[in-house]
Structure 1
Amino acid sequence: MSSPDSAKPEYVLWSYTPSLAGGVVAAGVMFILFLAHTFRLVKNRTWFCIPFVIGALFEGIGYSGRAAAHSDTTSKTPYIIQSTLILLAPILFAASIYMILGRLMQRTDSAEYSLIRATWVTKIFVSGDILCFLIQGGGAGMLVGAKDKDGVERGENIILGGLILQIMIFGFFLVVASVWHVRLQRRPTAASADLPWGKLIWFLYAASVCIAVRNICRVVEYAMGKEGYLLSNEWPLYLYDFLLMAITLSVCLSWYNPNIKPGRKNDIEFARR
Structure 2
Amino acid sequence: MAGGFEHWEAYLYDPSMAAAVIFIVLYGGATALHTYHLFQTKTWFFIPMVLGGYFEFIGYIGRAISASQTPDWTLGPYILQSVLLLVAPALFAASIYMYLGRVIILVRGEKFSIIRVGWMTKIFVAGDVLSFLMQASGAGILVTDSQEMGENIIVGGLFVQIVFFGFFVMCSFVFQRRISNNPTALGMARTTPWMKHLWALYGSSILILIRSIFRVVEYLQGWDGYLLRNETFIYVFDAVLMWLVLVTFVVVHPSEVNCLLGRGRVMTTKGGLSISEVAV
TM-score (norm 2): 0.87
Q: Does 1:198 align with 2:184?
A: no
Give, in whole Å, the separation in 1 of the partners of 2:74 and 2:152: 24
1:265: how far off? Answer: 3.6
Q: What 5-or-longer segments of structure 2 have no aligned partner?
A: 266-280
Q: Does 1:224 align with 2:200?
A: no
Is the CA contact (8 Å cut-off) linking 1:135 and 1:159 kept in structure 2? yes
Partner amino acid, structure 2, of 1:47: W
- C-alpha change, 1:119 and 1:8, in structure 2 (3 Å) is closer
Deviates more, 1:91-100 or 1:38-47: 38-47
Q: Deviations over 1:146-194 (max 9, x none)?
A: 3xxxx11111111011101110111111111100011111222565244
The structure 1 residue matched to 2:249, chosen from 244, 248, 252, is: 252
Query: What is the RMSD of the two structures over their aligned residues, measured on CA atoms?
Result: 1.9
Q: Does 1:136 align with 2:135?
A: yes
Q: Does 1:210 align with 2:207?
A: yes
Is the CA contact (8 Å cut-off) linking 2:142 and 2:151 kept in structure 1? yes
Q: Which residue of 2 aligns with 1:91?
A: 90
Q: Which residue of 1 aligns with 2:166?
A: 171
The structure 1 residue matched to 2:36, chosen from 35, 39, 42, is: 39
Q: Which residue of 2 aligns with 1:66?
A: 63
Q: Which residue of 1 aligns with 2:271?
A: none
The structure 2 residue matched to 1:160, chosen from 155, 166, 175, is: 155
Give, in whole Å, the separation in 1 of the partners of 2:23 and 2:230: 17
Give, in whole Å, the separation in 2 of the partners of 1:46 and 1:255: 13
Q: What 5-or-longer segments of structure 1 have no aligned partner?
A: 1-6, 269-273
Secondary structure in structure 2 of the residue aligned to 1:74:
coil
Q: Which residue of 1 aligns with 2:81?
A: 82
1:74: how far off? Answer: 2.2
Q: Deviations over 1:124-147 (max 9, x none)?
A: 00010000000000000001113x
Secondary structure in structure 1 of the residue aligned to 2:13:
coil
Q: Please identify which structure carries the higher strand content.
A: 2
Secondary structure in structure 2 of the residue aligned to 1:70:
helix
Is the CA contact (8 Å cut-off) linking 1:27 and 1:63 kept in structure 2? yes
Q: Deviations over 1:224-257 (max 9, x none)?
A: 0000011111110000000101111111224535
Give, in whole Å, the separation in 1 of the partners of 2:250 and 2:96: 12
1:52: how far off? Answer: 1.1
Secondary structure in structure 1 of the residue aligned to 2:12:
coil
Secondary structure in structure 2 of the residue aligned to 1:162:
helix
Is the CA contact (8 Å cut-off) linking 1:200 and 1:254 kept in structure 2? no
Q: Deviations over 1:188-215 (max 9, x none)?
A: 2565244211111111111011000000
- C-alpha change, 1:156 and 1:248, in structure 2 (3 Å) is same
Q: Does 1:51 align with 2:48?
A: yes
- C-alpha change, 1:179 and 1:203, in structure 2 (3 Å) is same
Give, in whole Å, the separation in 1 of the partners of 2:211 and 2:205: 10
TM-score (norm 1): 0.89
Count of residue correspondences: 258
